Each structure stands twice: as C-alpha cells, then as structure tokens.
Amino acid sequence: MDDRLFKILKKVYYKKKYEKDENGYQHIIKNGDIFDCDTKTTTYALDNLSHEELDYLLTSGYPVNEIAAYSHDECVLGYKKILRRSNLTLENLLAAYLCGFSSFPRGRQPILSYLFAKVVPEHTFTPFEKGGDICALCSMSKHIRIQKGEEIFRKYWGYSWNEMWGESLVDLQEFSELPTCVPTESDIKIFCAVIDLIRNAPFGETPGKLEQRIRKAKIVPNYEKYRFRGQLIALAELGILPNPYVKPLYDGFVSFQQRCLISHKISDSTRSDIVMPLSGWRGDNPINEDRLYFLFGHFFK
C-alpha cells in the first residue's frame, strides 16, 4: 500500500463521531469503525472522495467494501493451512515486528497472528456459554463476518492486538503476499531504546506506567498509545516481558476460558484495558534476557 492509497483510505474509514444514513438512522463511529446497531456491518460511502481519489482507489483494486465471511471451524483450518506459506516463518515475522517500530507499521500484527496460528489446536466450535456465539477454547465467534478492507487498513495504520482472532486470518493472508521485511538501523535503534527503558523499570511498575515512560521519552516516532501497545503485547506473548500468571503464546496454548478465570483472580485486572499476558507484567522482573537474545540477538550484529 503506497502513501497515496493510505491517505485515501483514511478518508473512507476514519470519519466523524456520528453520522446518519439516507433513512435517518444514526450509526455510531468509534476509532474509525462504524458499528451498525442492527447488523454490525456497513457499506462505506465513497462520496467524500474527489474524482481523482476515487479513480485511484478503484484502479488499485483495494477491497474497500468486501466482506470476509467464514465459520469458526473454517477459520481454525485456515490458520493451519496458511502456515504452509514459505514466507510465514518466525524469522520473517520477527523482522516485520522490528520494522513496526518505524519503517513499516504494518509489521506489528503478523507476529501475534502467527503465534496464535501455530499454537491454537484444531477443534470444532465449543460455546463458552450454553447457546452462546463465543468459543470457549479460542474466543472466536461461531460465524465470523468482517470488513476485509477496513481490517487490512487498520493493520497498515499500526494497530495490533492479541484478541479478536477471527479477524487475524485476514492479516496473515494479506501479509503473506508482501515482500520480506528488512529492519532498518532506525528500527533496531528504537527497539533497543525501548528495551533499555523496560530493562530499567522501577520496582512495581505497571504496564500503564511503562507506556507513560515510553511516551515521555519520545523515542518512538508518531507514538500513539493504542497503536504502540501492540508492540508491548507482542513482547509479552513472546515471553520477553514475563508474567507469573499465564504462559505466552510462544510457549503454548491457553484456552480463552482459562484466561478469563486467571484474569478474574488477579487483583485490579477488571479496571484495566490492558489484557493478559501484558497486564501481568511488573517492573520487578522486567525482561527475560535469555529469550530476548535467543529471538532477537542476531539482529543486533
């Protein structure tokens, strides 16, 4: 995705807080996402684009209003199948993660999607609650329906997360068709600066306080809390930011049901918008140095 296409898509997906359709029904818009109160999906209007922008968008072939729809079971099998693609290796995903610090924000999510795809067991939908739509094992919905174009756009904008796994298959599908990422000196320098800040965390520091320190240090270009948080989540899921409560994806699978039970047992966990395993990290034990150098040491040479 080039800069021009990104700017056009930002005009399509990132809009004002509220808008009404032609029938007078109001749609709630949050962080660029439109949540239709009836269907949870929408068709994005393109009438705010100039003729030149519209022509460029249509010529690009970008899936602006394409809906990706599949079942839970199809998604699980899709994860296992896509891992066969030659460029989806741990080495390439770690390189992309490093690029996510500056040169290529799109590189932030794939390592998380990859780790989940590797460890999630093949299984059929098992409801979390009787008659419910959420799977107790993996948290994915029984029926998955997402805006493919919007989902891809958000990844280029630098958003990443270790939840909503039904959407991350689209992430790996699109990413697996891109050229291999090569971290720049700037990417590695920023990563090392972040690691040093974490390594020198005060005793008892929480993830929220760590985020504040990183922001104030001004070492991450275009820092925005919710977009950068995914980089810390990835470090936690790789086991580099340790926690005493739940094993990271790098070390194996923990069911959604188990994670919920663990989170409820931990003091203050319900008052934070940071999820496990990052939420369990504290400055008392800031870095798993062995894991850090095992995974990233060769990038420093």
Asked whether residue 180 is assigned to any structural domain, the reply reads no
Last residue within a domain, chosen from 175, 193, 211 = 175
CA distance 137 to 255: 5
- How many Cβ atoms sit within 10 Å of the Cβ of residue 265? 9
Residues 88 and 13 placed together within one structural domain of the fold: yes
Task: Find where tokens 């496990």 sit.
Answer: 276
Residues 97 and 211 placed together within one structural domain of the fold: no
Residues 232 and 117 placed together within one structural domain of the fold: no
What is the number of structural domains in the chain? 2
Residues 13 and 86 placed together within one structural domain of the fold: yes
Residues 162 and 189 placed together within one structural domain of the fold: no
For every residue of 131-186, DSSP letters joined together read T-SBBTTT--BSEEEEEHHHHHHHHHTT---SS-GGGHHHHHHHHTTSPPP---HH
* Tens of pLDDT, residue by residue, the chain (301 residues): 999 999 999 999 986 444 444 554 444 344 344 333 333 456 898 999 999 999 999 999 999 999 999 999 999 999 999 999 999 999 999 999 999 999 999 999 999 999 999 999 999 999 999 889 999 999 999 999 999 999 999 999 999 999 999 999 999 999 999 999 999 999 999 999 999 999 999 999 999 999 999 999 999 999 999 999 999 999 999 999 999 999 999 999 999 999 988 887 776 544 568 999 999 999 999 999 999 999 999 998 7
Last residue within a domain, chosen from 129, 156, 175 = 175
Q: Which domain holds residue 66?
A: 3-175
Residues 123 and 149 placed together within one structural domain of the fold: yes
DSSP element (H, E) containing 26? strand 26-30
